[in-house]
Structures are given as structure tokens and as C-alpha cells.
Amino acid sequence: MECLRLQTLRNADRLNVSTMSKPATETAFEEQSLRAVGAIRWTRADVDRMEEIGILPERYELLDGEIITKMGQGMAHRRAVSSLIAWLYRGWQSEFLQSQASIDVSPEDHPTNRPEPDLLVLNQSMKTFAVEPLPAGIDLAIEVSDSSLRDDLTKKAPLYARAGIPEYWAFDCRKQVLHVHRRPVGGRYEEVFQISGSDRVAPLARPEHAIEVRSILS
């Protein structure tokens, strides 16, 4: 297994960053992690600087101080995202939808987190945000998951709950199960359930606009 080592400067100290490569698969949404040696957590300021000097990949997320590089999307992931986009466009105008772009989070999580949901439903036009959508402007965040499911359920769900995002869906491509999270209270979602097959669900923000789970990968 190959190891790519990068070096950058933070507060005048030289740090090593390592990432372990994984073989690409057709069905998995491949991710790699850049972990700061010595348990140092990366910040938004760090990754902004790393972008400036050109040592970050084109697509990545910052989660709990860890840089997650997105290495590619399998066919199932692409199909699911396309299906969800088509469904969303039937219910919302394009200016209220965002795909695969970063968002802001709660003030306490802001320094070491810059998540990038696959899809967002906004309650105000994206034109009103100067940089990133704020949590108060988000009605629904959606992640399409295969190899990223664990992080999507254990890291992103509490992250989005602490931000006060009212609803979060994580679609498991492998099992074709939709994990629905609703009503954030005290940093966690009070209502969490799973649906599949012919089950239908509609966002809290638009209860008349439902989707059948099996149609996401039909």
C-alpha cells in the first residue's frame, strides 16, 4: 500500500501529512484521509493555506480536523445523485438547490469542519449567501453513501444536528436504505428511522413532495 507524504507549515512548525491509497472500485465512493501527525487537528485556515500552495485535491471535506479526500464516485453513487437531483428539481427552483459544495456549521464546529453534502435544499436563494450556506438557511442535507456510510452516520449526523439543520438524509447505496434524521435537539436528532423498497418519505419542508426509496436507484 503506497503512502503519499506531504509537508506544510502551521505556526512556523513543519508537519507531516500522510494519506493511504486504496484501490478504486466501481461501486464504492472512495475516500482517503489526510491525518496530521501527532494528533494535530487541521483547521479551515490550514486547508485554505494548503489550497493556496496547491497541495490539496480538487474535492475534499474537513471533518473533525481530518481532511477527507474524495477520490471518485462509483456508478451507483452517480445514479443515486442524478435521481435525487431530478426529484428535487420537480419540487424546488434551482436557486434553492445546491450540489456538492461546502456549508457552514455551528460556531463551535466551524474551525475544524467544512463538510460538503452531496445535495442541499435551501430555504432562501443561494444568491443571498456571501460564501457558504449558513445552517439557518438549510432545510435538508442529503448524503449518498457507500464506503462513506460510517462517517455519514457517526460524524456528519451529529455535526449537522449541532448546526441545527432540521433534516438530514443518508442514502446507503449498497443496501438501498435511506436513513432519515429529523428534529435536532441538544446536538442530536430526536427522530431517526430507516426506510427502503416501496417506502415513501417527504421532507418536512415540503410534505407533499415524496420520493419512493427504490426509485433512487431504479
Distance CA 76, CA 175 (A): 11
> How does pLDDT run across 94-144, given as a tens digit for each residue?
999 999 889 999 999 999 999 999 999 999 999 898 889 999 999 999 999
Q: Which domain holds residue 160?
A: 75-217
Rg (CA), the chain: 18
| Other CB atoms within 10 A of residue 209 CB | 14
Cell, residue 46: 490550514
The residue from 72, 90, 119 where one domain ends is 72
Please check whether residues 212 and 152 belong to one and the same domain. Answer: yes
Please check whether residues 87 and 171 belong to one and the same domain. Answer: yes
How many domains does the structure of the chain reveal? 2
> How does pLDDT run across 150-162, given as a tens digit for each residue?
999 999 999 999 9
Please check whether residues 10 and 65 belong to one and the same domain. Answer: yes
Please check whether residues 58 and 165 belong to one and the same domain. Answer: no
Please check whether residues 62 and 84 belong to one and the same domain. Answer: no
Please check whether residues 115 and 28 belong to one and the same domain. Answer: no
Distance CA 184, CA 166 (A): 6
Q: What's this model's pTM, rounded to 2 decimal places?
A: 0.82
Please check whether residues 188 and 136 belong to one and the same domain. Answer: yes
Please check whether residues 14 and 110 belong to one and the same domain. Answer: no
Distance CA 113, CA 63 (A): 5
**29: which residues sit within 8 A by CB, 6+ positions away?**
70, 72, 73, 74, 77, 144, 145, 146, 147, 148, 173
